[in-house]
Amino acid sequence: MLVAQIQENYEIGLSQVPVPSLPPKGALVKVMGCGLCGSDLDKFVHQKASPGSVLGHEVVGVIEALDDEHPSGWKLGDLIVSAHHVPCRKCHYCLNDSESMCRQFKRTNLEPGGFSQYIALTEEHLKYTAFKVPNGVTPAEASCVEPLACVLRAVRRGGVSVNGSVAVVGLGFIGLMAAQIYQNDGFAVYGLDLDADRIALARTHGFVMDAFHPVTERERLDGVMRRHLPLGQVDTVFLSVVNAKTIELALELVRDGGNLVVFTSAPAGTGVDPSRLYFREINLITSYSPSLGDLKQAAQTVFNRKINVKPLVSHNMPLSEIGQAFELYRSGQAVKVFISMGDSP
Does domain 2-144+313-340 fall into CATH 3.90.180.10? yes
- Other Cβ atoms less than 10 A from the Cβ of 103: the count is 11
Are residues 166 and 189 in contact, defined by beta-carbon separation less than 8 angstroms?
A: yes
Query: Domain ranges in the chain?
Result: 2-144+313-340, 151-286
Mean pLDDT of 113-125: 97
Distance CA 5, CA 49 (A): 10
Query: Cα separations (Å) of 73 from 16, 68, 119, 290?
Result: 32, 13, 19, 23
Q: What is the pTM of this model?
A: 0.94
pLDDT recorded at residue 227: 60
Q: Please indicate whether the domains covering 2-144+313-340 and 151-286 agree at the CATH topology level.
A: no
DSSP 140-176: HHHTTHHHHHHHHHHHHHH---TT-EEEEE--SHHHH
Give pLDDT tens digits for 221-268.
555 555 677 889 999 999 999 999 999 999 999 999 999 999 998 888
- Superfamily, domain 151-286: NAD(P)-binding Rossmann-like Domain (3.40.50.720)
